Amino acid sequence: MSADLQALYQDTILDHNRTPRNFRALDGAQRAEGYNPLCGDRLTVFLRLDGDVIAEASFQGFGCAIAKASASLMTESVKGRTLAEAERMFDRLERLITSAGDEPPDDLGALAALAGVRQFPVRVKCATLPWHTLRAAAAARDEIVSTEYEGGVWLNPEHTESHETAKPENHLDL
C-alpha cells in the first residue's frame, strides 16, 4: 500500500471510523444537518452551549471514514472550548489539509491525524463537512449544509455579484 494511503488511513482515523465518539443525539440541543449528495455523506451535528462555551457536541449519521472520523474527532476537540476557539481550530485544520507543503499541525492535537487528507484534494470536502455543519448548528441556522458545491473562478470582477446569486441557497462561504 502506498505511503499516502497509509497517511490517510492511519490508525486514529480507522479507530474513530469504527467506533466514533459522541455518536448519539442530544435531546433539546441545537442541531444542523450536513449532506454531500454526490458521495452520500449525511450527518447531524448536535450542540449544547453554555453561553458561548461548547458544553457538549455530538453527531449521528453515515458517511465515509474521513467524514466520520473527522466528525468524531471534532466532537472531542471542541468540548469545553468557546465558539471562537472552535472557529480558530477549524481554520487551522482547513489550512493543514489544503496546504500543499508540510505545514506542521501546530497545536491541533488529535485533529492532526487528518493531515493525510492533503494528498487527496477530493476528500477535503469529507473532512470539512462536520465542521461546516457545526458552524450552522452554532448559528442555529435551519438549513442543510453541503461542502460539495465548488464555485467557478470568475475572471471578470464585475461578475462577482451574479456569482453570489448563482450559489445554491445552502452554500456556505469558506
Judged by phi (left if over 0) then psi (alpha if -120 to 50, else beta), residue 73 lies in: alpha
Q: Cα 56 to the chain's mean position, in Å?
A: 17
How many residues belong to the site for another protein (CB under 8 A)? Answer: 23
Q: Cα 35 to the chain's mean position, in Å?
A: 11
Query: Which is nearer to another protein, 78 or 126 (by Cβ)?
Result: 126
Of 25-33, 37-45, 106-114, 131-139, the window that binds another protein (rule: CB under 8 A) is 37-45
Residue 5 CB, nearest approach to another protein (Å): 5
Q: Which residue type sits at 151?
A: G
Residue 18 CB, nearest approach to another protein (Å): 7
Contact between residue 63 and residue 41 where contact means Cβ atoms under 8 Å apart: yes
Query: Which is nearer to another protein, 54 or 117 (by Cβ)?
Result: 117
Query: Which is nearer to another protein, 36 or 75 (by Cβ)?
Result: 36
The answer to whether 63 contacts another protein (rule: CB under 8 A) is: yes
Interface pick for another protein out of 32, 43, 66, 113 (rule CB under 8 A): 66
Interface pick for another protein out of 62, 80, 88, 151 (rule CB under 8 A): 62
Residue 28 CB, nearest approach to another protein (Å): 28
The Cα–Cα gap between 125 and 123 comes to: 5
